[in-house]
Amino acid sequence: MPVAPLNLYDLTREQLRVQLVRWDFNSVHTARLWNYLYIKLAASLDAMPELPPKLRARLATDTHLGVFPTALETASSDGFTHKYLLALADAERIETVLMRYTGRVTACISSQVGCAMGCVFCATGQMGYTRHLTAGEIVAQAVHVARALRAPAPSSAPSRAPKKCHVIRDKPVAERLRNLVLMGMGEPLHNYDAVMHAVDILRDPNGLALGAERITVSTVGVVPGILRLAAEKRPVHLAVSLHAANQTERAALVPAAKKWPLDELMSACRTYSETTGRRIFYEWTLIEGKNDSPAHARTVGELLGNLPAQVNLIPLNPTNGYAGAPTATEAARVFQHILSSEFKIRSTVRQRRGIDIAAGCGQLAVAEAASR
């Protein structure tokens, strides 16, 4: 049976060194190859001319660079959000999003093709689960965004520069990828090993060098994954998608809650915060008439009152498969005010970035599949 060529993005720097030595190459080449992969962001072996020809020949036969062609790219009307539908080697599609908030560049990347969790309002959940992504496929998405930031600005580039985009000696400072959220397609903690291996590669100080404090892993409430994160004391941020503060309402929105009920989830969150000393971000998709009343805000306050928590309120991104509508801005502000004034809980109302490009996870993949 033929051995699948090794994806270079699957390897940590140490694993790459070991591989070169195994092939009888001097480990001194590791640094240059790593530099090509993560500093120069080379997209092919042809773009690595300083490697010895014998090493390049070996890499050509036994490895591949998991670079994805872009099947579809869209940009929001304000130019600050770019969404890429990337074509994997097996013709599956995943979504990666580049977001420019004021002074911050963030990549939102996928961890699976589809998702098994089935959240009723989510386009990815409506599509079902196909497979886990490999660590290399997760890393390659961050590299894709880093490359996009380095590419010359297209004519559709934002007319207003992000706040902190400054100029030194008349030369714009290149934007650098600094923030990463695993909130794209898939449930990251359902693919724990590959996700954490990818995080280790992306944090390498000689590579993309993403700080752990700038990486957020989201979960819909996979309790074993939360407890494992706590036990391993991984320094990344954790975001838990709550959406409802009682078991019945939550199970109706998030079927995974039937497997990991709310009381078990909150117990795991408490363990996580106590073990790591970290605050958890609780995500709350605001759906008009469903979970956005003042009474709902008070149930959230009571549930989270004693925990180190920040609530991110996100008006629903409408999808064809779910009839709900986003909460109006004023109702979202009332919700937020109750959390802060009655429960001293910090919260944000997330900007609905890129709604004109179907930036909710899975929406672009569904639209593209329908047009194929």
Long-range contacts of 318-321 (CB under 8 A, 24+ apart): 319/121, 319/122, 319/123, 319/126, 319/360, 319/362, 319/363, 319/366, 320/123, 320/366, 321/120, 321/123, 321/126
* Count of positions on this chain that bind ligand SF4 (CB under 6 A): 12
Among 75, 105, 122, 287, binds ligand SF4 (CB under 6 A): 122
Applying CB under 6 A, the span of 5-13, 38-46, 181-189, 202-210 interacting with ligand SF4 comes to: 181-189
Question: Quick one: which of 113, 94, 193, 136 has its CA closest to 6?
Answer: 136
Q: Which is nearer to ligand SF4, 202 or 220 (CB)?
A: 220
* Residue closer to ligand SF4, measured from CB, 37 or 316: 316
Q: Is 220 in the site for ligand SF4 (CB under 6 A)?
A: yes
Site for ligand SF4 (CB under 6 A): which residue of 66, 136, 186, 324? 186
The residue type of 27 is S
Which residue in 10, 95, 175, 187 binds ligand SF4 (CB under 6 A)? 187
Choices 59-67, 148-156, 179-187, 338-346; region in contact with ligand SF4 by CB under 6 A: 179-187
Q: Say if CB 161 and CB 148 are below 8 A apart.
A: no
Told to check if 125 binds ligand SF4 by CB under 6 A, we report yes
> What is the nearest approach in angstroms of ligand SF4 to the Cβ of residue 103?
27
Residue 18, C-beta contacts closer than 8 angstroms, at least 6 positions apart: none
Min separation Cβ 98 and ligand SF4, Å = 18
Site for ligand SF4 (CB under 6 A): which residue of 7, 19, 106, 124? 124
Q: Which stretch binds ligand SF4 (CB under 6 A): 61-69, 91-99, 111-119, 150-158?
A: 111-119
Q: Which residues are catalytically annotated?
A: 95, 361
Q: Which is nearer to ligand SF4, 185 or 366 (CB)?
A: 185
Does 304 help bind ligand SF4 (rule: CB under 6 A)?
Answer: no
Helix (DSSP H) and strand (DSSP E) numbers for the chain = 13, 16
Phi, psi of 176 (to 5 degrees): -125, 145
Q: Is 111:191 a contact under the CB 8 Å cutoff?
A: yes
Please state, in angstroms and rounded to a whole number, the distance separating the CA atoms of residues 109 and 145.
9
> How far is it, in rounded angstroms, from Cα 310 to Cα 213?
15
Show the CA angle centred on residue 364, arms to residues 254 and 192, nearest 5°: 50
Give the footprint of ligand SF4 on residues 313-372 (CB under 6 A).
361
Give the residue nearest to ligand SF4 (CB): 125
Helix (H) or strand (E) holding 296: helix 294-304
Smallest gap from Cβ 253 to ligand SF4, in A, equals 9
> Rule CB under 6 A: which residues touch ligand SF4?
115, 117-119, 122, 124-125, 185-187, 220, 361
